[in-house]
Structure 1
Amino acid sequence: MTATEGFRAPTTADGRELEGRVAVVTGGASGMGLATTYALARRGATVMVLDLADPGRTALASMLGVEEDRVRSVAVDVTDADRLQSAFASLLKERSRLDILVNAAGIAPPTPFEDITADEWNRVLAVNVHGTFLCCQLALPAMRSRRWGRIVNFSSTAGKTISTAGGAHYTTAKHGVLGLTRHLAKAYGPDGVTVNAVCPGLIDTPMARSVLPDGTLEQAASTFPIPRVGEPWEVAELVAFLACDRAAYITGAAIDINGGDLIA
């Protein structure tokens, strides 16, 4: 057998590799979620954005430069199980399928540990972990029925070490997201569903700017092997890859995108 025998060329990206796919992106109206909405829609997916801030379908399509029938948006708190169930049911009734779920919604208050109230602790875990759980539970039946699905959960470098910007509750939540990701990957891989996490470091988003004092973001990033702050579109490109056929053999992974911040 020669070195080239048995070689099968991979499917290459043609710019519309997600044509016909239907996606849900939580937190998809700003920051890395918005960049992800753009990346998926530009590759041909129809995307439903679930976000507390609802820009509206027309405004969202115009902002992203995509056809209006490529996107829709629903104002929803990801901790509201009834509202989520209604949004998912509406999408499935309209499109009859759900292929991709991206759980990007999150909050990261920088409250010192001794000042965290029980309510704030519960709220941070509810948005970052419970919201991810609820959306995965709602999405999986449709994916399993078609034996194809992609779930991408947003963790963080905080999920592998401790948070730079958020508090102890954020660190705890992002570790929890990684545990949930691995469990679902193991359980549903045989059904054709991959479940992965992305772990962004310091990314230039409104949330990061809101919790770090002026100049702190750039100062911290200047010590990285790639000495700059990351861009939301760079994270979105990784998410879009994990959502496509070319990533079919990747599951249960927690992929760093942090400029080398965690290199020992």
Structure 2
Amino acid sequence: MERKLQGKSAVITGAGQGMGKEIAKLFAQHGAKIVLNDLNEDRLKETAAEIKATGGEAIWVKADISRRENVISLIDKARSAYAAVDVLVNNAGVLRSTPFLTIEEQEWDLVMDANVRSVYLCTQAVLPMMMENKRGKIVNISSSAGKSVSTLGGAHYTTSKAAVLGMTRHVAKEMAPYNINVNAVCPGLIDTEMVRSTCGPEQIAYYESSFPIQRLGTAREVADLVLFLASDDSSYITGASIDINGGDLMI
């Protein structure tokens, strides 16, 4: 197997479960040294153990990345372990389904902090290294909600994912002269713990039947797309937002 990330180091947020975990495992299979971040220590340890069991290399850092001091510590630990950060995957996020008129400010701030502020802080923290090295890949996990309206989330979730797309485009434009590619992935309904905890079986079956490709996407399918954007195969792609939604949203 061609190892597309051999010798590279990657920071992956929200790596304790779901898409983040699958991305981390796939990156490790392709030779990357992984820095795992999440708020759940047990899940971090589990992801790290699975990577190491297959011969990969990984460290984990429990941290709330909506706070600047924690992000600085995370990136410092990544630099200490692996000298640089070649790839950043901003995957961490939360979903809330509260109707707009009943969203309280605290919940609005929670969603925006987890889904937008964390992307801003982590991206800002890794860019000086990438600029100095004249290379880097940043992949932001947005959502089809960022281009339309969320299937499961509330207005705050939709707003946050649209904001990630705007940030992706702008940072990509500023960083292109430094050979830094910044792109976004926009998943539709993916079969993850977060989706399963939000939807019952009947609701999932309803959504599946409404999609042109009549099933949920898998975390591995998202990971394959993220790997492409993190590898040299995508060197002429930047500022893009790439859909993976089974045809649910066609623009």
Pairwise TM-score range, normalised by the shorter structure: over 0.9
Superimposed CA distance per residue, residues 40-69 of structure 1 (whole angstroms, 9 cap, x where no aligned partner): 11100001011001237764343244336x
- Structure 1 residues 109, 56: closer, same or farther in 2, change over 3 A? closer
- Which residue matches 1:7? none
> Over aligned residue pairs, what C-alpha RMSD do you find?
1.4
Superimposed CA distance per residue, residues 140-183 of structure 1 (whole angstroms, 9 cap, x where no aligned partner): 11111111100000110000000000110000000000000000
Query: Which ranges in structure 1 are unaligned for 5 or more consecutive residues?
Result: 1-13
- 1:57 & 1:130 partners in 2: Cα distance? 22
- 2:41 & 2:182 partners in 1: Cα distance? 27
Give the deviation of 1:113 after TM superposition: 1.0
TM-score (norm 2): 0.96
Give the deviation of 1:221 after TM superposition: 2.1
- Which residue matches 1:6? none
- 2:78 & 2:106 partners in 1: Cα distance? 32
TM-score (norm 1): 0.91
- 1:145 & 1:43 partners in 2: Cα distance? 25
- 1:17 & 1:43 partners in 2: Cα distance? 5
Q: Equivalent of 1:67, from 55, 65, 81?
A: 55
What amino acid is aligned across from residue 238 of structure 2 in structure 1?
T
**2:91·2:140 contact (CA, 8 Å) conserved in 1?**
yes
- Which residue matches 2:135? 148
**2:16·2:43 contact (CA, 8 Å) conserved in 1?**
no
**1:201·1:230 contact (CA, 8 Å) conserved in 2?**
yes
Q: How does 1:1-40 map to 2 (within 5 A)?
A: 14-40=1-27
- Which residue matches 1:117? 104
- 1:138 & 1:193 partners in 2: Cα distance? 14
- Which residue matches 2:185? 198
The alignment status of 1:183 with 2:193, answered yes or no, reads no
For the residue of structure 2 that corresponds to 1:199, the secondary structure is strand
Q: How does 1:36-115 map to 2 (within 5 A)?
A: 36-55=23-42, 59-64=46-51, 65-67=53-55, 70-115=57-102
Q: Equivalent of 1:221, from 208, 211, 220?
A: 208
Q: Equivalent of 1:174, from 146, 161, 173?
A: 161
For the residue of structure 1 that corresponds to 2:50, the secondary structure is helix
What amino acid is aligned across from residue 155 of structure 2 in structure 1?
A
| Greater Cα shift, 83-92 or 117-126 | 83-92
Whose helix fraction is larger, Structure 1's or Structure 2's? 2
Q: Which has the higher Rg, Structure 1 or Structure 2?
A: 1
- 1:258 & 1:57 partners in 2: Cα distance? 27
What amino acid is aligned across from residue 191 of structure 2 in structure 1?
D
**2:36·2:44 contact (CA, 8 Å) conserved in 1?**
no
- Which residue matches 1:233? 220
Give the deviation of 1:211 after TM superposition: 1.8
- Structure 1 residues 56, 163: closer, same or farther in 2, change over 3 A? closer
Give the deviation of 1:39 after TM superposition: 1.1
**1:61·1:67 contact (CA, 8 Å) conserved in 2?**
no
Query: Which ranges in structure 2 are unaligned for 5 or more consecutive residues?
Result: none
